[in-house]
Amino acid sequence: MKPASALPAALKDALIAAAVSAAIFIPLVALRTDVGPTGALTLRTRWPEAALLVGLVFLGRLALVLWTGRRGLRASTAPGPWTQRLQQAGRLAAPAFLALALVLPAIPGVDRYWLDLGILVLTYVMLGWGLNIVVGLAGLLDLGYVAFYAVGAYSYALLAQEFGLSFWVCLPLAGLFAAFWGVLLGFPVLRLRGDYLAIVTLAFGEIIRVVLINWVSLTGGPNGISGIPRPSFFGLPFSMAGGEGTFAGFFGLEPSPSHRVIFLYYLILGLALLTNWVTIRLRRQPLGRAWEALREDEIACRALGINVTTTKLSAFALGAMFGGFAGAFFATRQAFVSPESFTFIESAIILAIVVLGGLGSQIGVAVAALVLIGGTEVFRDLQEWRMLVFGGAMVLIMVLRPRGLVGTRTPSIALGKKRAIGGDLVGEGRG
């Protein structure tokens, strides 16, 4: 289409888009309902806002159509500049990220805020890596991953509080509990496929949350559990009082609240790296290869003598275990857990990190967690707009890059040089 004739067509297209968006936006944006002083609903008009939105849609659509032609945005699975750069830089980027993560607390100017943000991002990196085992490698669509995060957090909280066990005893126990639940929930549902599995795992996530809310005698109900013991440095508590037997006292340091934050930071970094290390090791071994083979073709796996059920369960249980570790960490960091932290939206965010990063790609997941979690934290001032932007970003990235940021797969073994495999060949799993 020549530019001369493209403009009227684009204008028409943009006008249609504007008309649709007017119909969509005007009632909800321009007519704001509020509860009035009498308790009845009143209406307040906000025409400028609605007009602004419609105008933005018009201009946005016009620019888009003129830029890309009438097809609009096209999904692309081909390795774009993004992917290639990430891949090329991958060998350098991963160690660079790691080095940055390791020295972050020592960088001048990095204060408590940045460390807390680092802890938050790393928690999601770990959750993403854990879920990546289930969704990215084994191709099992799990929409209830937050259930295991919750099991880990509550197991830790209860074990630490009721039995007074130390962090280093509770942590593995919380992971084991979560893995146990993974097996328990996984066993009956893992023969379901695709979307069915997704919806059942979602239902399990909700069941666990509802039970947490209502089993008041054990979980404290909606109020949650507070006063969870903070972690100690291998028996040395972090205390502002200092003195004999505390962390600061033992190492002869000035007592400071940042000691604990730095400790927590390294703790979650270690846990995340453990997840990464185990995943990378397993991927190069029969179990990990069997997971990926399951994702590619379950029937062929059966014909080759792979026990599909136990292989799926192992992925589910391992993913759940890392979710449980992350949950235990969450509990000890917050010193407080409540059902509110474990809603479906958490599962959706973790899944989004995995899919947006690129299924099966460790570096992609880490970058996606950094962008999504770090990004939305930086935009904290947007407050309630934050999730709106978050959801919009999810849609946009998916439409532009359905395979995620890193859409290619690296072979686990090669006779010669390992060459990345294009995303269009890699399976996505049926169950």
Partner 1 sequence: MTPPILEVQRLTMRFGGLTAVSSVTFAAGQGQITALIGPNGAGKTTLFNCVTGFYRPSEGVIRLHKRGVAPTELQRLPGYRIARAGVARTFQNIRLFPGMTALENLLIAQHGRLMAATGWGIGAVLGLSRYPAAEREGVERAKRWLSATNLMDRADDPAGALPYGQQRRLEIARAMCTEPALLCLDEPAAGLNPRESDELARLLLDIRQEGTSILLIEHDMGVVMRISDRVVVLDHGVLIADGSPAEVRGNAKVIAAYLGEDEEEVSA
Partner 2 sequence: MAYALQQLINGISLGMIYGLIAVGYTMVYGIIGMINFAHGDVFMIGAFLSLIGLVLLSMGGVMGGPAALILVLLVSVALTGLYGWAIERIAYRPLRGSFRLAPLISAIGLSIVLQNFVQVSQGARVKPMETLVRGGIEVMREDGFVVQLAYTQMLIIGVTLAVLAVFTVLVTRTPLGRAMRACEQDRKMASLLGIDTDKTISLTFVIGAALAAVAGTMYLLRYGVIDFYIGFLAGVKAFTAAVLGGIGSLPGAVLGGLLIGLIETFWSAYFSVQYKDVAAFSILVLTLIFLPTGLLGRQEVEKV
15 binding partner 1? (CB under 8 A):
no
CB 196 within 8 A of CB 210: no
- Shortest CA distance to 339 belongs to which of 226, 224, 205? 224
Would you count residue 41 as binding partner 1 (CB under 8 A)?
no
Kindly tell me which residue out of 348, 371, 412, 420 binds partner 2, with binding defined by CB under 8 A: 348
Site string for partner 2, 365-404 (x = CB under 8 A): -------------------xx-xx-xxxxxx--xx--xx-
Taking the least distance from each CB to partner 2, the nearer of 243 and 392 is 392
**According to the binding rule CB under 8 A, does residue 195 interact with partner 2?**
yes
Residue 199 contacts partner 2 per CB under 8 A: yes
CA Rg, the chain, in Å? 25
Residue 109 Cβ, how far from partner 2 at the closest point, in Å?
33
Q: Is 299 in the site for partner 1 (CB under 8 A)?
A: yes
The answer to whether 148 contacts partner 2 (rule: CB under 8 A) is: no
Task: Give the shortest CB-319-to-partner 1 separation in angstroms.
Answer: 14
Q: Which listed residue (12, 32, 85, 419) binds partner 2 by CB under 8 A?
A: 32
Q: Distance between CA atoms of 347 and 370, rounded to whole angstroms?
A: 17
Q: Kindly tell me which residue out of 35, 41, 107, 303 binds partner 1, with binding defined by CB under 8 A.
A: 303
Residue 1 found at the interface with partner 1 (CB under 8 A): no
286 binds, among partner 1, partner 2, none (CB under 5 to 8 A by kind): partner 1
CA pair distance 105, 256, nearest whole angstrom: 14
CB of 211 to partner 1, least distance (A): 31
Residue 251 burial class via C-beta count within 10 angstroms: exposed 0-12, middle 13-18, buried 19 and up: exposed
- Residue 237 CA to residue 249 CA, distance in Å, equals 10
Q: Enumerate long-range contacts of 236-241, CB under 8 Å, 24 or more apart.
A: 238/263
Give the interface size with partner 1 as a residue count (CB under 8 A): 38
Report what 287 binds from partner 1, partner 2, none; CB cut-off 5-8 Å by kind: partner 1
Residue 412 engages partner 1 in binding (rule: CB under 8 A): yes
Using alpha carbons, select from 424, 244, 350, 429 the residue that is nearest to residue 341. Answer: 350
Our finding on whether 106 is near partner 2 (CB under 8 A) is no
- Per-residue binding string, partner 1, 314-353, x by CB under 8 A, is x---------------------------------------
- Contacts by residues 396-399 (CB-CB < 8 Å, ≥ 24 positions apart): 397/356, 398/355, 398/356, 399/73, 399/75
Kindly state the smallest distance separating residue 143's Cβ from partner 2, in Å.
8
The CB-of-354 to partner 1 minimum distance in angstroms stands at 17
Q: Does 359 bind partner 2 (CB under 8 A)?
A: yes
Q: Which amino acid is at 100?
A: L
Judged by CB under 8 A, which of 15, 16, 43, 169 binds partner 2? 43
Residues of this chain that interact with partner 2 (CB under 8 A) are 20, 23-24, 27-29, 31-35, 39-43, 72-75, 77, 135, 141, 188-189, 192, 194-196, 198-200, 202-204, 206-207, 210-211, 213-214, 299, 344-345, 348, 351-352, 355-356, 359, 384-385, 387-388, 390-395, 398-399, 402-403, 423, 428
